[in-house]
Amino acid sequence: MVTVDNLTIRYGAHTALANVNLQIRAKEIFAIIGPANAGKSSFLCAINRMDALRPGMSVSGDILFNGINVRQWRNVYALRRQIGVVFPLPVGLPMTIYDNVALAPRLSGQSLTKADLDALVERCLRRAALWDEVKDRLHSLGSLLSGGQQQRLTIARALAQEPQLLMLDEFSIAVDPVTTMRIEEILRTLQQEMTIILVTNLVQQAARLAQRTAFFLNGACIEVGDTETIFSGQSQDPRTRDYLEGKFG
Ligand SMILES: Nc1ncnc2c1ncn2[C@@H]1O[C@H](COP(=O)(O)OP(=O)(O)O)[C@@H](O)[C@H]1O
Ligand SMILES: [Mg+2]
């Protein structure tokens, strides 16, 4: 689904990620692990062309999404509609729970009836395992929810555009362990319908969820392999083993 060919990302003279080559398969959970400043978030930004969020970022090499170079999409919003993103901290929009989820479908210009939109909002909140907790207060502010609920709201919002690819960047940094486990369950279910790229600061989360894992370190992709292989001590690079054993990071 995603082919990354010789990807290099720079901020001015600083190289954040160099010569990355890898492929992400349809409907897999693909984890990216690695310490801070490895280039993980920059990698996600390049895929859906969020360069605008990162001043000075320049990208070379190719990223094919469903066979089409992401830089050839004339309309970057059309590309981003197919790629949902969840950030480390829930980015609650200053609007109601309902409107947070309904925003993207409303902006997409589809003419949805009120009933269609209601059904879509309910479906997305259910898929994000949030419906039961919020169904009686859909029209109160999303910002009044707990941190864990807000992170699930951002997942519901990402799902509202029916993405083919969902990218999560360290989603569990600001949520409690119970919410983390609930979201992991959600991801297992969502995987039946979409591809997931999971950048995680929790190596065990990669072990629990991902079919394949990439290890990024200091702007390089050190290794990509089957999660089982990497976690069973058969990684190709000693730095991967050291990281998994907690020797640094
Ligand atoms: N907007 C920016 N301007 C300059 N350098 C940046 C910017 N964003 C990230 N970097 C640098 O790029 C490298 C990779 O950052 P990042 O992709 O955020 O890594 P990670 O997500 O693995 O922590 C780091 O050295 C970081 O300091
Ligand atoms: Mg990051």
Same-domain check for residues 173 and 147: no
| Dist. CA 199–CA 189, nearest whole Å | 18
pLDDT in tens, 73-89: 888 888 988 999 999 88
Q: How many domains in the chain?
A: 2
Same-domain check for residues 149 and 180: no
What was the pLDDT predicted at 152? 95
Q: Give the CATH number for residue 231.
A: 3.40.50.300
Same-domain check for residues 248 and 174: yes
Same-domain check for residues 185 and 204: yes
Residue 3 pLDDT class (50, 70, 90 cuts) = very high
144 or 90, which is more confident: 144
Cβ of 56 closer than 6 Å to ligand 1, yes or no, is yes
Same-domain check for residues 130 and 19: no
- Which of the listed residues 112, 129, 158 is the one where a domain comes to its end? 158
DSSP 8-state assignment for residue 164: S
Position in ligand 1 atom list of the atom nearest CA 199:
21
DSSP output for 25-54: -TT-EEEEE--TTSSHHHHHHHHTT-GGGS
What was the pLDDT predicted at 108? 82
Mean pLDDT of 163-169: 97
Same-domain check for residues 2 and 109: no
Distance (angstroms) between ligand 2 centre and the Cα of 139 equals 32
Mean pLDDT of 115-130: 97
The pTM of this model reads: 0.95
92 or 93, which is more confident: 93
Q: Whose CA is nearest to atom 2 of ligand 1?
A: 54
Same-domain check for residues 168 and 149: no
What was the pLDDT predicted at 50? 87
Range of the domain at 121: 88-158
What was the pLDDT predicted at 91? 76
Cβ of 14 closer than 6 Å to ligand 1, yes or no, is yes
Using CA atoms, how far residue 205 sits from 23, 91, 138, 196, in Å, is 21, 22, 31, 13
What was the pLDDT predicted at 89? 85
Mean pLDDT of 170-182: 93
Same-domain check for residues 44 and 146: no
Same-domain check for residues 67 and 120: no
Mean pLDDT of 6-20: 97
Cβ of 27 closer than 6 Å to ligand 1, yes or no, is no
Q: Which two tokens stand for residue 115?
A: 């009933």
Same-domain check for residues 179 and 241: yes
Same-domain check for residues 200 and 242: yes
**Is residue 169 pLDDT above 90, yes or no?**
yes
Same-domain check for residues 68 and 167: yes
- Which of the listed residues 141, 158, 175 is the one where a domain comes to its end? 158
Mean pLDDT of 82-99: 90
Residue 96 pLDDT class (50, 70, 90 cuts) = very high
Mean pLDDT of 35-44: 97
- Which of the listed residues 158, 190, 219 is the one where a domain comes to its end? 158
